[in-house]
Amino acid sequence: MVVCVCNALREKDVREAARTGAKSPARAYRSLGCQVKCGACIPFAHEIIRTERSAAC
Ligand code: FES
């Protein structure tokens, strides 16, 4: 599933970034070599990161 249309980021990319330490969408996107543009994806990306990080605990 595509999370961020602007950057063509998929859910698995954002999950992987969260698993390797990204604590926010901005940090996750940066680790993937992009940045937040329109911001429409932020709530979904935030939720993905939150669930991935809580699963790791
Ligand atoms: S959809 Fe992610 S920045 Fe626009």
**Per-residue model confidence (pLDDT) at position 57:** 65
Q: Could you tell me which residues come within 8 angstroms of residue 27 by beta carbon, excluding any fewer than 6 positions away?
A: 17, 21
E-strand spans in the chain?
2-4, 9-10
Q: Which CATH number fits domain 2-56: 1.10.10.1100, 3.20.80.10, 1.10.760.10, 3.40.190.10?
A: 1.10.10.1100
| Burial environment of residue 55 by CB neighbours within 10 A (0 to 12, 13 to 18, 19 or more) | exposed
Round to whole Å and give the CA distance between 13 and 3.
Answer: 9
Q: Which ligand 1 atom minimizes the distance to the CA of 45?
A: 2
Atom 3, ligand 1: residue with shortest CA distance: 37
Q: Which ligand 1 atom minimizes the distance to the CA of 38?
A: 4
Q: In the chain, which residues have pLDDT < 50?
A: none
0.85 exceeded by pTM: yes
